[in-house]
Amino acid sequence: MSDEYFVGWGTLALINAGIAQGKNRSGLNWFLLSLFLGPIATFSLLLFDKIPNE
């Protein structure tokens, strides 16, 4: 596999962490999950609603 593949996958994980934090979810957990699931995690995040602030 090429280095670009790993850079792209890592970038997607960082983007997912940002999306998760914007929806009041744990950015670290979603970052780690995204390292394994990649685009599937992104799609899941887009389907989830934002958690209301307490």
Tell me if 12 is assigned to some domain.
yes
Residue 3's φ and ψ, nearest 5 degrees, are -65, -30
The contacts of residue 9 (CB under 8 Å, 6+ apart) are 35, 38
The two structure tokens encoding residue 48: 């989830």
Q: What is the identity of the amino acid at 52?
A: P
Q: Would you put residue 12 in left (φ > 0), alpha (ψ -120 to 50) or beta?
A: alpha
Tell me if 19 is assigned to some domain.
yes
For residue range 1-54, what is the model confidence (pLDDT) as tens digits? Answer: 677 888 899 999 999 999 999 999 999 999 999 999 989 999 999 998 888 877
Domain of 28, in residue numbers: 3-47
Domain count of the fold of the chain:
1
Its pTM stands at 0.85
The two structure tokens encoding residue 7: 């850079």
Tell me if 52 is assigned to some domain.
no
